[in-house]
Amino acid sequence: MKSPERIIIASRVSRLALWQAEHVRERLVGLYPGCHVEILGLSTRGDEILDRSLAKIGGKGLFVKELENALEDGRADIAVHSAKDVPMDLPAGFTLAAFLAREDPRDALVSNRYERLADLPASAVVGTSSLRREAQLRSRFPGLDIQPLRGNLDTRLAKLDRGEYAAIVLAVAGLKRLGLGGRIRAVLAPEESLPAVGQGALAIECRDGRPELVAALAPLNDVATAVCVRAERAVSRALGGSCTVPLAAHAEIVSNALQLRGLVASPDGLRIARGEVRGDAAAPERAGEALAAALRVQGADAILAQFR
């Protein structure tokens, strides 16, 4: 395959997003030493609107649209996303060409005073940006005061350090990538807080009419990560999930089979539909659709009806 001569990466301008873009840039330069790879930093509406929850302003697609515009008008060749921020249905003409090897997909408790969620006193203020996390926290610890937490990673940690929250819940992956793993007080097992679809994985998006670029990106694709994320995304797609729905799905490959768990919850945590399937790793979308059907049997449709 002929080495690409130039690749421009569209990225959000938060510190974590730029770390992710730089990581992809380094991988591409390692693969294609003669290729000039640069990063185009863009501000997205999701980064700019910080006084309202994502569920109220249009969902995670707000972190993606400006990057897709740059791909469409030729300012960039690829966009690097946190896979959990990518809507389940891409616009016509776009494709997810690669998923990089996944970092730890679990959630983390970050606190300056408490070692575990169980140590938090009644009415302690806990911050989270996610309806998924909120629902699971309310289900397990109904006495906690769950409050919205927006902003980039550094902003969220600063709010904690100013005493606005007793604890906050963040993704392990982001903390580790920025060298902030020391801030983690406890890593939450999937049984405690089932992760978001795609959490911990990086996705590379490009226009699907560029086969030579898709081929150049192929060596970056981690097959196990791609299988797991495709299965998780299929669950959410089948249920019509978005960031306005407290939905979680987490896949692992165990003994060459796909182990997939999911849940749908009401925001107050009082109703939760849970399911688990074991499927063929060669057909991740089929496993995702099977789990969505299992969640419907557990009452997912009745929970989801309030969001439509």
| Catalytic residue chosen out of the listed positions 85, 107, 119, 154 | 85
Contact 18, 9 (CB under 8 A): no
Per-residue burial over 170-201, b = 16 or more CB atoms within 10 Å of its CB, e = otherwise: bbbbbbbbeebeebbbbebeeebbbbbbbbbb
CB 85 within 8 A of CB 134: no
Of 197, 204, 294, 226, nearest to 23 by C-alpha is: 204
Tell me if residue 89 is catalytic.
no
Give residue 93's region: left, alpha or beta (phi > 0; psi -120 to 50): left
Q: Which long-range contacts (CB under 8 A, 24 or more apart) does 283-286 make?
A: 284/227, 284/228, 284/230, 284/231, 284/234, 284/251, 284/258, 285/230, 285/231, 285/234, 286/234
Whole-number Cα distances in Å, 137 to 130, 145, 147 = 11, 10, 11
Is the distance from CB of 37 to CB of 17 less than 8 angstroms? no
DSSP-derived 3-state class of residue 251: strand
Angle at CA of residue 108, ends 105 and 113, nearest 5° = 170
* Contact predicate 257/279, CB 8 Å: yes
Which residues participate in catalysis according to the annotation? 85
